Structure 1
Amino acid sequence: MKWRRKEKQTPPGGESPQPDTGWATTSMSTGAMANWTAVVRWGAWGLLLTGPLLGGLALSSTTQPVAVPTRDEAPRAQPASSDAVAPAGFAEVYVAAYVKAGDSDADAQELAAFYPAARSMSWSGGGGAERAESASAVQVRQVSAGYWSVTIAARITGSSKNGDGGRVRYFQVPVRATGARGTSGWTAAALPAEVAAPTGSKGVTPELSYGSAHAPLDSDPAVQTVRGFLAAYLTGRGELDRYLSPGTALHAVRPAPYTAVTVTQIAEHGHGPAEGAEAQVPPDGVQRRLLVDVQGDGKYTGGRPMTYAIELRARDGRWEVAALEAAPALATSSNSSDS
């Protein structure tokens, strides 16, 4: 794809049109001008006299003070987990539009929705020869306030002169917020740049903070709770609420993706209960964090492996699901106190 900027066209006659500044001039008689000057003079006196009164009313009607940071107060940093979502999603869609863009005006207009300068560019090559079948952000870095560098991994399919169609390729996209704190949207600061795969994208599997996995014990009441919970959660069989701790809000997957779910292995976070203690009635409030391997069987899927991190809490002599954790616990120094 070859890009070039379009040259600005000069109108016939060689003279540039006068810029439209938004102001208009009109002719006015001497008498009308004198009347207008008197109106302006009296209006200025009125503002001067009523200014203090209006200012006092404005101060008295203020209900919420605006916090002004002091000179020694540093601005609060926004969580990257929330701030990075919007520029990453914007960059994913932008790269997909960029890959399939061609020399048509429609493609240029579509790309201009992400990168406004594309309206003044043209390039050779037919659109749609290549497409991004999938595009995902693999690295998001904040360059400065409201300005991000997003690396997108895209699987490109279609014709390719180098014969690498269908391979994963990486594009670096500069994304800038168009309003305060990104509330007004996002725009690209330049065209995407194809780059090498980010360092560490092919890393080793991280070590988790769980003990050795073992087959589920039928004598363990926790296993019975996990089995019933996953069956209600993934197959729609049984009531989900009966397995949840008070205050835990979870909803079953709808429509149910599987007809049967089998628990294959369980690993305990930390030391876990002593041998033989699993069958005992746990005191109220005791917690267990389990890493549960399951297999799901559905109408079109057989034996699909999945892993869930589940937190259990004891109440009234039984185990209940307190949380379906967002991610398994990693074996780091921060988790050593939990074990």
Structure 2
Amino acid sequence: MKINWGFGPPKEADGGDSGSREKPASSEQHTWTGGSQLATRVVVGLLWAALIAGPLALALQMLMPDSRPVVRQDGYVDRIGEAAAVSEFAERAVVAWLETPGEESDALRAYFGDIGLARPDIPWTTGGTAVAEIVKDDNGLWAVTVGVDATEGELPADVAPAQEPPEEPADGETPAPDDAEAEPVQRVTSGRLYFQLPVLYVDGQMIAQALPAPVPAPGEFDQLASAYDHGLAAGHPAFARVANFLNAMLVSGDQASLEAYSSPGTSFRALNPVPYAGVSVDTLVATGGEAPAEEPADGETAEVQANVTLSGSNGEQLGAQYSLVLQAREGRWEVARLRTSPALAEPVPIPAPSPVTPPAPGTSTSEGTSSQGPTGTPSDTPTREGGSDPEATGSATESP
């Protein structure tokens, strides 16, 4: 005899199904058991999916390319952040070297390691430090030139300055004869001084590879020829247009007037707060060898430079220059752009690359310093990080 446990319809005594009679409704036990089986299948499926996903994720991780930054074969990397860190370190090191007295010389080991130090008892005072130049040297070190306003320490009134012994020529050398016409050497105790400092940078750690070396100030260079070659008369319409534009931007602070003298689509802004009491345009000079038309055709452009005089509230005056691009609309000139640099008549010179000598292998010393920097692949020319030369003709942008 077969017992029906509630998993199906009752069967006939002979084992056959009763096809002709109506099937009874499913019992509560049947409903609960079917739901439990479904939940079991779902859980088992999730477990199998988890087991498969683990090895699959590991395989994908191994096959995916490395996400680290790619370095070119020539050894070039983006050194903007590195140069900024080295510049800041060099400024602090030079200031500490000048301002630290002899009794506190141990504080300089953080910058210079075990390099021998000769320290004054009365240190210098400094201010206005700035990096004048930073280049990547051919031996892998950063060479930083730091400018600083320095003043020699003053001795107490009751202390006499030490007398320096006269210089004696080295053995085997003949002293140079005195030049009676030579001007006496002028020595200063306060002024702008420049120091060059080699800095080793490795994985965010920095140390000076030598003491700061006083060097001459950066060389001066003659200005390039300007492209502005034709002066405009004071009665030229462009002259008054530029004068009104600058007055609205610098003196009155009237944004509506500023927009009235500007080309459509520009976004010039008046100074706020206004720092000047007056502005006058002394001369207006244009490029092209001739003055722009007084009644220009629509779309015609002209490049001009305004030499102006600004007046403060105290009556003092200050000169300034603005390079502008004018554009004609409806027969009048309007300011279309303020150039970031003037137009030039000659290109900016590009220095020729200097030959590079492969560096000698470095030798380690104590305190983690070395006599040579890392022997990485040098570049063909020193990499200047402080900035890049401007384009030959300058770039023109609208004011913010």
- Give TM class, smaller chain: 0.5 to 0.7
Q: Confirm or deny: 8 A CA contact 1:140 1:151 kept in the other structure.
A: yes
Q: Deviations over 1:104-162 (max 9, x none)?
A: 65x865x67xx5445998763346x4223333333332326985322223332243789
Q: In structure 2, do the counterparts of structure 1 residues 311 and 170 end up closer, same or farther at CA, with 3 Å as the change threshold? A: same
| Partner SS state of residue 313, structure 1 | strand
The partner residue of 1:217 within 194, 216, 234 is: 234
Distance 1:119 1:195, change over 3 A: closer
Q: Pick one of 130, 136, 143 that aligns with 2:124.
A: 130
Secondary structure of the 1:195 match is strand
- Give the Cα separation in 2 of the matches to 1:156 and 1:68: 44
Pair 88,58 (structure 1): closer, same or farther in 2 beyond 3 Å: same
The alpha-carbon deviation at position 310 of structure 1 amounts to 1.8
Equivalent-residue separation in structure 1 for 2:79 and 2:126 (angstroms): 30
Question: Paired residue for 1:53, among 27, 51, 56?
Answer: 56
Deviation of the 1:93 alpha carbon: 5.0
Local SS of the residue matching 1:268: strand
Q: CA deviation at 1:297?
A: 0.5
Contact 2:325 2:338 in 1 (8 A): yes
Deviation at 1:293, TM superposition (A): 0.9
Closer, same or farther: CA 125–197 of 1 in aligned 2, 3 Å: closer
Are residue 156 (structure 1) and residue 150 (structure 2) matched?
yes
Residue 101 of structure 1 aligns with an amino acid whose one-letter code is T
2:216 is the counterpart of 1:197: yes
Tell me the residue number matched to 1:264. Answer: 282
Structure whose alpha-carbon radius of gyration is higher: 2
Counterparts in 2 of 1:57 and 1:83: CA distance versus 1, 3 Å? closer
1:325 deviates by 1.9
> 2:255 aligned with 1:231, yes or no?
no
Find out whether 1:319 has 2:333 as its counterpart.
yes
Q: How does 1:53-132 map to 2 (within 5 A)?
A: 53-58=56-61, 87-88=86-87, 91-92=90-91, 94-103=93-102, 116-117=111-112, 124-126=119-121, 129-132=123-126
Could you tell me how far 1:263 is from its partner in structure 2? 0.8
AA of the residue aligned to 1:99: L
CA distance in 1, matches of 2:62, 2:240: 64
The sequence identity of aligned pairs, in percent, is 23
Q: Give the Cα separation in 1 of the matches to 2:298 and 2:243.
A: 21
Aligned-residue offset at 1:172: 0.7
What TM-score results when the alignment is normalised by the length of structure 1? 0.60
1:53 counterpart letter in structure 2: L
Alignment deviations for residues 206-247 of structure 1 (CA, whole Å, 9 cap, x no partner): 3222214x3652332x22332122223322432234444445
Pair 1:178–1:208, CA change in 2 (3 A): farther
Contact 1:228-1:238 at 8 Å conserved across structures: no
Contact 1:216 1:264 in 2 (8 A): no
Secondary structure of the structure 1 residue equivalent to 2:293: helix
Q: How far apart in 1 are the matches of 2:202 and 2:261?
A: 46
Whether the 8 Å contact between 1:216 and 1:263 is mirrored in structure 2 is no
**Cα distance between partner residues in 2 of 1:92 and 1:242:** 47
Q: 8 Å contact 1:287–1:311 — kept in the other structure?
A: yes
CA drift of 1:316 comes to 4.2
What SS does the aligned partner of 2:247 have? helix
The residue type paired with residue 283 of structure 1 is D
Cα distance between partner residues in 2 of 1:170 and 1:283:
53
Question: Would the alpha carbon gap of residues 299 and 85 (structure 1) be closer, same or farther in structure 2, given more than 3 Å must change?
Answer: farther
**Structure 1 pair 317–227 and aligned structure 2 pair: CA distance change class (3 A):** same
* Cα-to-partner distance string for 1:248-306 (whole Å, 9 max, x where unaligned): 4444344322111111112223x15x45x53113322x322222211111024622111
Greater displacement, 293-302 / 227-236: 227-236
State whether residues 224 and 346 of structure 2, in contact with CA within 8 Å, keep that contact through their aligned partners in structure 1: no
Cα separation, partners in 2 of 1:166 and 1:120, compared to 1, 3 Å = closer
Counterpart-to-counterpart distance in 1, 2:265 and 2:211: 46
Q: 1:139 to 1:59 in 2, by over 3 A?
A: same
How large is the Cα RMSD of the aligned pairs?
4.3
Letter of the 2:342 partner, please give it. P
Number of residue pairs matched by the alignment: 268
Say which of 292, 312, 315 aligns to 2:306: 292
Counterpart of 2:228 in 1: which secondary structure?
Answer: coil
Structure 2: give runs of 5+ residues left out of the alignment: 1-51, 155-160, 162-185, 349-391, 396-400
